[in-house]
Amino acid sequence: MISFLLNNEITHIDQTKADLTLLEYLRDQQKLTGTKEGCASGDCGACTVVLAEVVNHGKNTNDSLEYRAINSCVTFLSALHGKQLISVEHLSEQKKLHPVQQSLVEHHGSQCGFCTPGFIMSMFALYQSPTQPDREGVIQALSGNLCRCTGYRPIIDATLKVCENKITDKFQKVEPETIKQLKDINKQNISTSNLLVPTSREELASAKATYPDANVFAGSTDLALQVTQQLKTFEKLIALGAIPELNELTESEHGLLIGAALPLGKLESSLLKHFPQLSELLWRFAATPIRNQASLGGNVANASPIGDMPPALLALNAIIHIDDGQQKRTIPANEFFLDYRKTALKASQWIESIFIPYTSPNDFVRAYKVSKRYEDDISAVCAVFNAQIIDGKVQSINSGFGGVAAIPATVSALNTALLGKTWSSKESFEIGNEILKQAFSPLDDVRASKNYRVAMLCNLWKRFWLETNQSTQKIETRIVHIPSVTEEVPHA
């Protein structure tokens, strides 16, 4: 039985279609029509709702609620268990608008109003976060919400303003009660007859054995598209959100061990603490509401050639941890992707976690993405480089590329050809340039032409070389503000 707070009502669902989306549940079953359908594909944000969840940031700290905006159109109901689902109707008190609503009204931030409830929910989630955002933070928080009318300026102003002076709102006033209500929800026996929610690896193995055709999912941001866009019906689905091993994050001595089902939003801070160079890639990975659902494991298991994390995992020599309920094993990332949407994973297996080893001070990492739009777009080309330079000489060059082949791919020739070369010499740049010119035969498609993709491979290599050389690193190569990477570039 899936149990949650629907706004402030404890709600139980013991029968549901496995593939019912949260948006359908709200609009069709609950008649809560404030939440809108704009695209049913997680691209516009009109359907944004907020999930509040009890978190505890360590021993001797109090439980608190964490609020995350998600796209209800690509969410299945298992995501609700143990959480508070907040929809736009619940924000105001009697006729008194919530501060974020009031601020948007005062800044003339709604015109046609159709995107507005979604914006309100993203603003609301930001309002509940402990930090006071700057303009960049506001843009990040609202990056998954499209508005066609206003040009966004009043929405940015309204959000900045309301977050300047937060007051205790009705949610904070009842937070202890909400936490108690949520903690009282049973963490076992979540499954319904069609939507299975195993709570251990054994249960998962058994569910997979019983329903070998049932898809497993973590965030559902990709799987749900088959329902909403291709009109597929899934009789049975298996959710990975309640299995402890798949939802833990461990900062070990040698690297980060990331549970496969953990949403990217929850691993952002740890990942960026250890790999600050991934900030642009992570920041441009879809948009906040998608990152609040989508998992790293899903991004890997899908093996999409345009997924943005696999190139980083390739370049960082990540290890994929695999389980089938009986035997665990590991596969290096560069052996995991076999062919278009085909991986080394067997039908009975799943990804348990992904290990990313820390880099050393001699490792120079850059992750680049080129797309038509900065926020919420899919890579035309994604390139991640990881060069180990000692005493000015190349020790190794690991790389990962997206958007240029049928799978996320690495170019080992870079490593072979540049080994021992002086990194700062023009020759090093030229060698890599020639290799990358020939390395792939990308497609012409709606995102970019083949020629442009090849040119980008070379030019991103050039940018990497310019940025990691002392003589050229002063050259401005970026037009967008990327949180600064503090590292010393190698001396010649």
Partner 1 sequence: MRKLIEQPGFDSANQGAAGKSHKHESAARQVSGQARYVDDMPEAANLHHVAVGVSPVTSGTITAIDLSQVKSSPGVIDVITVDDIPGHKDIGPVFPGDPLLANTEVLYHSQPIFAVLASNVTLARQAVLKAKVDIADTQACLSVDQAKTQDNFVRPPHFMHSGDFEKSYQQSPIQIEGEMLIGGQEHMYLEGQVSMAIPEEEDRMLVYTSSQHPSEVQKLIAEVLDIKLHKVVVDMRRMGGGFGGKETQAAQWACIAAIFASRNKVAVKLRLPRMLDMMATGKRHPFENRFKVATDNQGLIQATHVEINGNCGHSPDLSDAIVDRAMFHADNGYFLADSYIEGHRCRTNQVSHTAYRGFGGPQGMIVAEAMMDAIARKLGKDPLAVRKLNLYGKDNRNTTQYGMQVEHNLLADLIDKLEVSCDYQLRRTQIAEFNKNSSVIKKGLSLTPVKFGISFTAKHLNQAGALLHIYTDGSMQINHGGTEMGQGLHTKIGQIVANEFGVPLSHVEVTATRTDKVPNTSPTAASSGTDLNGKAAQNACLAIKHRLAEFYAEQLQGDPKQVVFTEQNVVLGDAKIAFAELIQQAYMNRISLSATGFYKTPKIHYDRNTGKGRPFFYFAYGASCSEVSIDTLTGEYKVDRVDILHDVGKSLNPALDIGQIEGGFIQGMGWLTTEELLWDDTGKLTSNNPATYKIPAIGDTPEIFNVDLYPRANDEDSIYHSKAVGEPPFMLANSVWCALKDAISSITDYQIDPVLHPPATPEKVYNAIEQAQTWLEKQS
Spell out where 73-113 has E strands.
84-86
Nearest residue to 385 via CA among 436, 430, 340, 342: 436
Is residue 390 part of the contact set for partner 1 (CB under 8 A)?
no
Residues 49-108 that bind partner 1 (CB under 8 A): 87-89, 91-92, 97, 101-102, 104-106, 108
Minimum gap (Å) between residue 461 Cβ and partner 1: 10
Is residue 492 part of the contact set for partner 1 (CB under 8 A)?
no
Is residue 169 part of the contact set for partner 1 (CB under 8 A)?
no
DSSP class of residue 378?
A: -
Is residue 356 part of the contact set for partner 1 (CB under 8 A)?
no
Stretch that binds partner 1, among 206-214, 261-269, 353-361, 365-373 (CB under 8 A): 365-373
Is residue 139 part of the contact set for partner 1 (CB under 8 A)?
yes
Stretch that binds partner 1, among 29-37, 180-188, 247-255, 323-331 (CB under 8 A): 29-37
By beta-carbon proximity to partner 1, the closer residue of 205 and 384 is 384
Is residue 449 part of the contact set for partner 1 (CB under 8 A)?
yes
The Cα 82–Cα 54 span in angstroms is 9
Count of CB atoms situated within 10 Å of the CB of 204: 26
Is residue 450 part of the contact set for partner 1 (CB under 8 A)?
no
Is residue 447 part of the contact set for partner 1 (CB under 8 A)?
yes
Minimum gap (Å) between residue 32 Cβ and partner 1: 8
Residues 241-280 that bind partner 1 (CB under 8 A): none
Minimum gap (Å) between residue 367 Cβ and partner 1: 14
Nearest residue to 468 via CA among 358, 369, 392: 392
Q: Are 382 and 401 in contact (CB under 8 A)?
A: yes
Minimum gap (Å) between residue 439 Cβ and partner 1: 18
Return the residue of 22, 23, 46, 333 that touches partner 1, per CB under 8 A.
46
The Cα 339–Cα 331 span in angstroms is 16
Minimum gap (Å) between residue 433 Cβ and partner 1: 12
- Listed in sequence order, the DSSP H helices in 169-229 are 170-173, 175-183, 201-210, 223-228
How buried is residue 114: exposed, middle or buried, by Cβ count under 10 Å (0-12/13-18/19+)? middle
Residues 106-135 that bind partner 1 (CB under 8 A): 106, 108, 110-117, 120, 135
Q: What is the CA radius of gyration of the chain?
A: 23
Spell out where 264-392 has E strands.
319-323, 328-332, 337-339, 342-343, 350-357, 363-370, 381-390
